[in-house]
Structure 1
Amino acid sequence: MENQNHPQTKKRSKIWIPVVIVIFAIASAAAWIGYLAVLAPTIQTDAEYFYVHSDDSYDDVLGRIKDENIVRHYWLFERMAKAMDLSENINPGRYRLESGMNNRRFIGNLRGGYQEAVKFRFQNLRLKENFAGLLGQTFEADSAEFAQLLQDTAVATKYGFTSDNVFSMFIPNTYEIYWNTKPEEIFARFHTEYNNFWNADRKAKADALNMTTQEVSSLAAIVKGEAMHVDEMPKIAGLYINRLKRGILLQADPTVIFANNDFTIRRVLNRHLTIDNPYNTYRYKGLPPGPIMMPSIASIDAVLNYDKHDYIYMCAKDDFSGYHLFAKTMADHLVNARKFQRALDERNIKR
């Protein structure tokens, strides 16, 4: 039997120990690098989302990931991207970035197009350009593309509207839509939601008023412009419906402000009433050609479920509470109007 304490055996042992240590160190380093490349949290930015544009190239995307310091150890991310064939499968979209996300998951999301939809909410919009601006801020397409669609008569006709009343197609609500969805597809989605909103019950109520759904929205926009409080909307709607039924000019101040295109007006004066514009309901009988602002769901339902009464006049209360005083006769209305005019004068509100 060979002697374990032989000098040559001891010498070989001394040689192998460093070799084993080196191999172990290399294996440990490789394992650590593999962990960093695949499993370790990699997101280091405070940004909530990473956007891949429809016209971005693979180099564009990797360049921004590097320049914006999205990931730790970019060189490892780049190698993982190559290993996972990201260049062949990258998808545009809006991708959520989470602190615990690793390279494999981040790259997998980009490859699979696993983006997070935008929760798009809108309300209280006055003009088409306001809506186009909001859409452009929220989605990949810019506001000019949305503005062009909103002004396009052919697009309005396609969905059963005119260029004047197409604004009524957009029902204020919260919608989940992917960031890179094309403007035409977004409009189609809004039209689908419009049809869903105008269910059989609402359509039946519009028919009972002898109004189209677009006309209901036009009246609802006036109600929305007049009312500061939702609980007063049905009463205001009832007043304007009384005027329509009797063939009386609506004489709605918000339409005059819209016709003058001056939304700084706080006090409608006689000079404002003279403008020759179809939206000026002091000069033109009936409803205006389209909504003067985007009506809310509450204002639409207020028209459809209006209060039945005999009022045909109203005036803002002189306590500036946002509520109104209603009257059945011109004499009573003038009393209310003088109270409000005095209150305006006391506060030096001249326009």
Structure 2
Amino acid sequence: MSRSPHPRRRATLASLASELNVSRTTISNAYNRPDQLSTELRDRILQAAKRLGYPGPDPVARSLRTRKAGAVGLVIAEPLTYSFSDPAALEFVAGLAQTCEEAGQGLLLVAAGPGRSLADGASSVLSAGVDGFVVYAAAGDDPYLKAVLDRRLPTVVIDQPREVPGASWIGIDDYAAMRELAEHVLGLGHREIAVLTMRLGDRDGEVALVDEDRLRASTFHTQADRIAGVRDAMAAAGLDPAGLTLVEALRQGPTAGGAAAELALRSNPRLTALLCTADALALSAMDYLRGHGIYVPGQMTVTGFDGVPEALRRGLTTVAQPTVAKGRRAGELLHHPPRSGEPVIETLPVELIRGRTSGPPAG
């Protein structure tokens, strides 16, 4: 008989307090008011909790009448500012917030990104007063996903990772979408192509060339799938996928795409097309090219992915995905779960936008 991926809780607040010979208030403070305890005592409590399988106090129990916290928790394993600066993430949060407002619920951004220790990040997840979680584009080995699952609350994963036991999933077919985009660029006659990708995993630096080992080790499956779509389109067109120039932008920021474009062109000066796995990279790359007297699309084709408003205003050739709809569907699944209680898997449609930034190669 197979074992459940979510073991039954082996300890309660009361049993943990008894085990350590402290009050239940002291246990609660270790999670919710750590400033009230010495570092030594808090560490002893958290270590014992981990050993006994106790994930932390249940915030829902704070309301004895409704058993509801009245909020949805959004876990993004990036700096909190990412939710308000990345165009695609901002649209997603807007869609999720709409459903929360309609349902009279709050939206809590759970601080579990860089700059925090693993223990503090997990504690933020375990102590969050929410009725369910939305996990946005987490790495396949994201350590906070386990903390989310330990809460045993309704959970919706957006984009990645896929097939999380007990969690619903909403995303798109990244491989097919990027392959269609690559086929469009190849159909224009381009043969010297680069892909500028968002980060594939943890790594120091700003930008870097990607080799096969790095690509195989990627923990961000959406990016790896988009790259695979380009490589397979090249193979179908009779080109060697090994000839693809691949550059990874390791940091978010307004100049990331420009830095990646610079490295790509330095690595292969014959390039005639830059395929970017995010509109933010493409827009930054276009700014870099314009600043260096390289015309788009006359001398360089540039494409993006997401379909954010600024990209559409600038006529970017891109894949438009329903980012706001992703947020709305995530909220709807948490506020109005299916009667069956079974996880929902939804693949949303996308649209290839043939904008003004793609054209035949010069000459």
Place the TM-score, normalised by the shorter chain, in its bin.
under 0.3
- Greater strand share, structure number: 2
Report the structure number with the largest CA radius of gyration.
Answer: 1
Q: Which has the higher contact order (CA 8 A, sep 6+)?
A: 2
